[in-house]
Structure 1
Amino acid sequence: MEYIQVRKATIDDLSTLQQIGRETFFETFAESNTEDDMNKYLEDSFNADKVTVELSNPDSLFYIAWEDESPVGYVKVNTGIAQTEQLDEKALEIERIYVKSSHHGKKVGQLLYEKALEVAQQYHNSYLWLGVWEKNPRAIRFYEKNGFIAFDKHIFKMGDDEQLDIMMKKVL
């Protein structure tokens, strides 16, 4: 594996986050969803206004994994009221970890997870949590390998389709 560096994203990384976000989400879920739902989700989630607001929110942090000058994945974490579910002020949500398919199996996801864990420790969070699509066994295995356990379920809106996410957490 080439050397991967994980760096905190700033507003200067807006277009990079949009690009890597769209690309990795499409690679991961396009086969399992309709074109209309995919297009709606990508436009709603990765338009410049939405990503700018997220990057400007002090309770949300993005980190991009770089191989040389190429982005190969990213993680988004949320604290406080930025969490998609208001579970606990002492929690850190991993809202997204996505890696380009060309880099699956190269430990990029593990590096991004470890950055999220580092952030949780810096903020003195008591646990990490996330939602993972019930039909994504690769991601479920990844989180279980890292000590997460299922504790609930919630609905994830994919375009107009309501899908079931397994909520998982890891106590620190």
Structure 2
Amino acid sequence: MAITVKKCTIEDLSELQKISKVTFTETFEEHNAPEHLNAYLEKAYNSGQLASELANPSSEFYFVCYNEETAGYLKINTGDAQTEPMGKEALEIERIYVKNKYHKHGLGKRLMEEAFDIAARGMKTKIWLGVWENNENAIAFYDKKGFVQQGSHSFYMGDDEQVDLIMVKTITP
């Protein structure tokens, strides 16, 4: 089993769009109305939106591959690219997704390690993320990694307002 992590570039736009839509749908389709899910997918993962995010110097995307197949991805933000104003000392994990068939293979852990490494290189003192309040598996994973809930914010799946828990981990650079 070979697990590799690769930083995405604009040349990866099509693959990024594909893995984004697949993993988000796998994660949330059974809990959301199709019209809300489809509205979110079109807004968040259209080519123009993803190209803009890839071009932002304060955002980075990484693929995790399992035996050379793209199995998931990570999106991190710093500075003003963060979805909440958490300061220059913070790194946000905006997206961390792995295809269902690769759960329990250590890929989420590997992406999390990548985020921690990037934070350490950038001298960040905290890593934070938002996680849907009903995503118990993800919350348990973040708990195990040392994240603690420190608030919440609204997340819109189409027109459906949902609650994301804000979880933070203090780190020493």
The verdict on a shared fold, with TM-score over 0.5 as the criterion, is yes
- Distance in 1, Cα, partners of 2:7 & 2:67: 15
Counterparts of 2:164 and 2:139, CA distance in 1: 10
CA distance in 2, matches of 1:58, 1:87: 17
The aligned counterpart of 1:3 is 2
Offset of residue 80 of structure 1:
0.2
Give the CA deviation at 1:74: 0.3
Displacement of 1:33 after TM fit?
Answer: 0.2
Runs of 4 or more, structure 1, over 3 Å off, are none
Cα deviation, residue 78, structure 1: 0.1
Q: Percent identity of the aligned residues? A: 48
TM-score by length of 1: 0.98
SS in 1 for 2:87: coil
* SS of residue matched to 1:125: coil
CA distance in 2, matches of 1:91, 1:118: 13
- 1 CA distance for matches of 2:14 and 2:66? 17
Give the corresponding residue for 2:146: 147
Q: 1-side partners of 2:97 and 2:119: how far apart? A: 19
SS of 1:43's equivalent in the other structure is: helix
Query: For residue 105 of structure 1, what is the amino acid of its counterpart?
Result: K
The alignment of Structure 1 onto Structure 2 pairs a total of residues equal to 171
Alignment of 1:1-172 (within 5 A): 2-172=1-171
Matched residue type, 2:16: L
Q: Secondary structure at the residue paired with 2:124? A: coil
CA RMSD of aligned residues (A): 0.6
Aligned-partner Cα distance in 2 for 1:134–1:69: 33
Amino acid in the other structure paired with 2:112: Y
SS at match of 2:113: helix
Unmatched tracts of structure 2, length 5 or more: none
User: For 1:2-35, what per-residue CA distance to the aligned partner results, in whole angstroms no more than 9, with x for missing partners?
Assistant: 2110010011110010000000000000000000
TM-score, normalised relative to structure 2: 0.97
Secondary structure at 1:155's aligned position in 2? strand
- The residue identity in structure 1 corresponding to 2:160 is D
